Amino acid sequence: MGEHSEDWISGKFILSILEEFGEHIDWIWEIFKRNHIPVIEKNKNYSIPFCLQLIDLLKEHSGPNTIFKLGYETAKIYKIPMEYNQFKTPHEIFPFFNLAYTLNVQSDSNPNYYHYEVINTKTGLFRSHTPFHCEFEKGFIYGILNLYFAIDYQNHSIEHSPQLACRNFGNLYCNYLISWN
């Protein structure tokens, strides 16, 4: 996680994601308040470790489904450096994720946190070196597939297991095998 310590996310971006929780946002603010998290300000920047602390708190109080939803909601506002309608398959969009990361997360380094490998016409291997939770990333990938390719949950799968590599089991990255039809 040390290499991400100089990365930061704008308060505006964080608030945009949290606002997608609608009426449940008051519950989120209450969790943050009880855990002495300062009010998130729109015009302030927050470090990646701070953002991970927010995600950890939400996971502790509500479980992995909330973290999955947080990732999915992030996909709704994530900036990708080209027009979405130009992409015909996920194979075309995933290679742009390193560039997209720099549009959404400010970094003092030149991040190369993502790697994508085409397995076949309808399968790819997405490797993430970010510090974000597996549930968050899985929700994020589902969001990208659903929102920008109209590939619904029934028509694609994202496999993430220790056999594929996972930071929770000592790896430096997580692998996600993505397939669709």
Q: Which pLDDT value is given to residue 2? A: 45
With bands split at pLDDT 50, 70 and 90, how would you rate the model's confidence at 37?
very high
- Which has the higher per-residue pLDDT, 121 or 145? 121
Domain boundaries, position 14:
2-64
Residue 156 lies in a domain: yes
- 139 assigned to some structural domain: yes
Q: Look at residue 125 in the predicted model and tell me its pLDDT.
A: 92
Q: How far is residue 146's CA from residue 153's CA, in Å, rounded to a whole number? A: 7
Is residue 39 a part of any domain in this protein? yes
Please provide the average confidence, as pLDDT, over all residues in the chain: 83
- In a domain, residue 69? The reply is no
% of the chain at pLDDT higher than 90: 26
Instruction: Name the nearest CA neighbour of 81 among 62, 97, 61.
Output: 97
* Residues in Cβ contact with 112 at an 8 Å cutoff, skipping those fewer than 6 apart: 98, 129
154 lies in some domain: yes
Higher per-residue pLDDT: 131 or 108 = 131
Mean pLDDT is lowest, of 54-63, 73-82, 134-143, 144-153, for 144-153
| Residue 140, domain member (yes or no) | yes
Per the domain annotation, does 98 fall within a domain? yes
pLDDT at 1: 40
Distance (Å, rounded) from C-alpha 60 to C-alpha 74? 19
- How many domains are contained in the chain? 2
12 located within any domain: yes
**Residues 176 and 90 occupy one common structural domain:** yes
Using left for φ > 0, alpha for ψ between -120 and 50, and beta otherwise, residue 36 falls in left
Q: How confident is the model at residue 5 (pLDDT cuts 50, 70, 90)?
A: low
Give pLDDT tens digits for 55-113: 999 899 988 898 999 888 888 887 776 665 577 778 888 877 777 777 777 766 666 78
Q: Tokens 């929770």 identify what position?
A: 168
- 49/113 same-domain check: no
**Taking the CB of residue 102, how many other CB atoms lie within 10 A of it?**
16
**Greater model confidence, 93 or 120:** 120
103, 175: one domain: yes
- Whose CA is closest to 17, among 74, 67, 64, 78? 74
Neighbours of 116 (CB within 10 A): 19
Mean pLDDT of 35-64: 91
